[in-house]
Structure 1
């Protein structure tokens, strides 16, 4: 297929034309079945005329700078099938030439052979008529069914839509993009056909042209539906889709930007290569800018840089109170920042943005937050860029003030950034210093959600974020541990388990302050809460809690709370169960360590296991 695509379409059409000319000569030389051979030639002659018409059209289109590029996929497929049928006709007609008696005995020709060949030629005539009708329609959509696609009508529809998308007028292109969107919505097979038949390049072209928001919306809708699979996303990336998407995101009406952000999210979700390419194209900046539209975050960081940290924090506090003056100042300054820092044509959309439906503004933010989430997931590079654009403050403020999907998407973005920081010391030190206003704001919101919001969908990512930042908190920062200890008693088992997992990262030996944090956990009555959690869980589901219990025993073995809760007995009981090897070794070490302090407890066996 790769070699086939390298040949010019005129060369692809030259072979069936050559075979048709050979059929003419063979018919002239036929000695038998002359009437049947004449019928064959009539069909071949019709094909020959249509092939030459198609060659003239292709040549004129490809040599004209004003003409849109020729859509070649159906031409190549029909030309290849026509060439096979002409080869069949040539082979049959040649058998009708007088030769030796032996050859005539071996090569017996019958009427059925002619009926079969004429049927193939009729099919090729139908294919050629359909093909010419596409190019005669001035870019309009043709929905008739050619014989070549009789077993798969979707193929002919895709060909017609893509031809119209690539070669039609603007309205026809919009309609074709919408039709491709409808097909892509149906099933993954349709998506595969659209991509295989080269539908991505004209969709991207329509998307980035910017001649009509309706056209961009139609193209983006189709691309979003196609971008739900690694292979298809790779095709979009390979067609230089990433810079096109970033360009549209930076300079388009809000409704178009929303779909561009959706496309970023989908591509980043399914393809790490796309994540990297978006990082190189610096997509984080416009996403954070759009997300912070109508907020004060941009004003704080980008236009008050000369002020002190204290002044910035004060503004943050004042605006957080919701005063009318502060809110007016924030919105007006954010608007001016957006249009100054957006694109060169940002001012063209300013009035539209100010008058836009609030629902449209909200959906844009939801989409931008999701895009940031998908970009940050598993990517230290993109997570670092989010912190460098001061996006963390924006995310934290939205988590504080918003609800629903926007709040969840922002919280999930924070979670991914903190997880990346957990695995990368440089990012952790740069973005989550204890004296950083952004870091403080983020932590405040995470703790607020853990303590005040009774929603596992929010509490769990918040606790995971705090756990990921465990190595950034000093020993005196005990306020982050108390709510986690309290959540180990949560009625929701998943929330309680997540709290235990977060606390495990505070007590882990990987944490330089593990001894101090372990003592703090015990001081906040972490042992009774942990014991209740262990009792409520199945043995196979208690590994995180058991790990935490071992760490507390190892790092604060002389605590009376451990003795009162009979932790040694619990660990000895767990040691007799089936555990992963690493956890079993940890339990054994904890038992040995506790025996140094509570040797007398061996005689006080508990009759249950957690």
Structure 2
């Protein structure tokens, strides 16, 4: 609610004042006395209900004010109409009586307005249950004020129950809001505009009831598919709440919390940054790592984790006072090569629950955690860096090796985003993908395995993109990454073949310090014939195939493979076809000139075209 809004007591005092004025004016009426008394009867009913509502509003600590303000504003307008009408019935001069003609139709119209307000007030008192313990169950009746939009009254009733009702009513109302939000974006907009986010977040913190947390998280996930709505959740301080629940809750609640992280980070870069600032990456990696590593790897991975342990301990020292005062589980440690939340006895209990949980539930937790890491890493160098610092890369590599389906895909997409960040940031590239880094080696091994062994374009494409993003990290002797990419140039799926060409371009482009060595390796792996076949594909394949062919010509122009494949003739034809393409306008002529240096003869006359 906006801070500029009047207090709810002030909001209700105005219609009460109007009702009292109507009473005084009715007493002074000289005409239509019977009609004026009927008006007063309706106004008196409203006055009694208003006073009941005021008593309730002033004694309820967590009052849901939105429908009260809407009904009070509408009621004030109707009372103003009634006051204006009865004033015309006072003793006046003949001239004013001629000007202000009052008829029975005017009274019927005002009575209809007042009856509508009586219906609104009855409905309002019913959702607050002012005769009971304060805050009743769900009310699905339709007040006149929402007659043209039933969804509005349902949303008011559900939010009121979540904010003020008993626990069972709050859970039911959250599930109802989730169902409404799932239907369409208009319902989502109404829920957010009517103040539904804050009560849902409050219910999400209800650690005594996992059912309530799941219901609230489900509703919030349905709302979080739009930047504006996600920003509302962020502005209601939703990010620290989600991270707290993620770190210390039963597994089924953690699934929903991780899903909420993914949805919010996907649609709002501010939420993406805030989650990293609140340290959401560590519990996500913790949960993703659970049961991932075998005991055989413990010693080896323990050695690899020394740097991370030092970094984490430094952070823990800074946050120890905060964790003690807020009871948040910051006491993390490495065990069996992955982080465990051991900051409270409750966290220990949750860990035991995870160990005994249904395997399908544990799988779903890992799927959602991997997706959350993917969305946090997307287009974010800082978040990608944090994932690599928590040994997330080792975990992702292991899951790519062991798992299948959605979990494997989400892990590959996370790796793809991290490697894309490394491609754009030299510091991250040097820190996380050094040639002697065990994590980097594990990731590359699995990427190559996916490219070579799995016949799935959905999985091969992110793996190929990842290898391409790491092109500048491979030394000249590391030719084993070139072969699988060259092989994929002939893949039956044009998207896979095109991605292979794009990846190889990153090895052979002038920006790569080892472009000459990599270009020769591509040719040695019989890349030229495969590339020539790719040029018979669609426009996208032709474009990237030609770019790669030009790089090979520029950096290994004396190769016999280029001459045997009649690459010079192909490029001359491409020069006419793609002469206006921005990426090829200068590249193709340069490649032709360079090839003519080595393959003079029948094509030497073409040199006259270029200075």
Same fold, judged at TM 0.5 (above): yes
Could you tell me which runs of 5 or more consecutive residues in structure 1 were left unpaired when the two chains were aligned. 63-68, 310-332, 606-610
Deviations for 1:392-433, whole angstroms, at most 9, x for unmatched residues?
000000000110111100111000000010001110000000
Q: 1:196 to 1:530 in 2, by over 3 A?
A: same
Given the alignment of the two structures, is residue 433 of structure 1 paired with residue 430 of structure 2, yes or no? no
Q: 1:345 to 1:163 in 2, by over 3 A?
A: same
1:273-422 to 2 correspondences below 5 Å: 273-296=270-293, 299=298, 303-304=302-303, 339=340, 341=342, 345-422=346-423
Q: Is the 8 A contact 2:9 2:58 kept in 1?
A: yes
Q: 1:604 to 1:460 in 2, by over 3 A?
A: farther
Aligned residues: 574
Given the alignment of the two structures, is residue 270 of structure 1 paired with residue 267 of structure 2, yes or no? yes
3-state SS of the aligned residue for 1:599? coil
Q: Is the 8 A contact 1:568 1:601 kept in 2?
A: no
Return the offset for 1:30.
1.7
Distance 1:249 1:124 in 2: 45
Q: 2:128 corresponds to which residue?
A: 135
Q: Bigger shift: 444-453 or 350-359?
A: 350-359
Q: 1:476 corresponds to which residue?
A: 477
Deviations for 1:269-314, whole angstroms, at most 9, x for unmatched residues?
00000000001001010000000001228945874468899xxxxx
Q: Is the 8 A contact 1:26 1:94 kept in 2?
A: yes
Task: Provide TM-score, normalisation by structure 1.
Answer: 0.91
3-state SS of the aligned residue for 1:296? coil
Task: Provide TM-score, normalisation by structure 2.
Answer: 0.91
Distance 1:30 1:581 in 2: 85
3-state SS of the aligned residue for 2:273? helix
Distance 2:300 2:241 in 1: 29
Return the offset for 1:92.
1.2
3-state SS of the aligned residue for 1:345? helix
Given the alignment of the two structures, is residue 213 of structure 1 paired with residue 210 of structure 2, yes or no? yes
Q: Is the 8 A contact 1:301 1:390 kept in 2?
A: no
3-state SS of the aligned residue for 2:535? helix
1:45-60 to 2 correspondences below 5 Å: 45-60=44-59
Deviations for 1:323-366, whole angstroms, at most 9, x for unmatched residues?
xxxxxxxxxx9579654546563112233222211111010000
Distance 1:113 1:93 in 2: 10
3-state SS of the aligned residue for 2:416? helix
Distance 2:417 2:305 in 1: 31
Distance 2:422 2:67 in 1: 51
Q: Is the 8 A contact 1:268 1:274 kept in 2?
A: yes
Distance 2:381 2:446 in 1: 22
Distance 1:248 1:308 in 2: 28
Return the offset for 1:577.
1.5
Q: Is the 8 A contact 2:534 2:541 kept in 1?
A: no
3-state SS of the aligned residue for 1:421? helix
Return the offset for 1:434.
0.3
Distance 1:463 1:22 in 2: 78
Distance 1:505 1:513 in 2: 10
3-state SS of the aligned residue for 1:545? helix
Q: 1:14 to 1:155 in 2, by over 3 A?
A: same
Q: 2:555 corresponds to which residue?
A: 555
Q: 1:566 corresponds to which residue?
A: 566
Return the offset for 1:604.
11
Q: Is the 8 A contact 2:444 2:467 kept in 1?
A: yes
Q: 1:20 corresponds to which residue?
A: 19
Return the offset for 1:581.
2.4
Q: 1:292 to 1:342 in 2, by over 3 A?
A: farther
Distance 1:74 1:466 in 2: 56
Q: 2:112 corresponds to which residue?
A: 119
Q: 1:575 corresponds to which residue?
A: 575
Residue from 195, 200, 203 that aligns with 1:198 = 195
Q: Is the 8 A contact 1:257 1:364 kept in 2?
A: yes
Q: Is the 8 A contact 1:177 1:219 kept in 2?
A: yes
Distance 2:337 2:348 in 1: 10
Distance 2:343 2:584 in 1: 53
Q: 2:39 corresponds to which residue?
A: 40
Distance 2:426 2:166 in 1: 55
Q: 1:308 to 1:413 in 2, by over 3 A?
A: closer
Return the offset for 1:38.
1.0
Deviations for 1:449-504, whole angstroms, at most 9, x for unmatched residues?
11111000011100000000000000000000011001101111111001000000
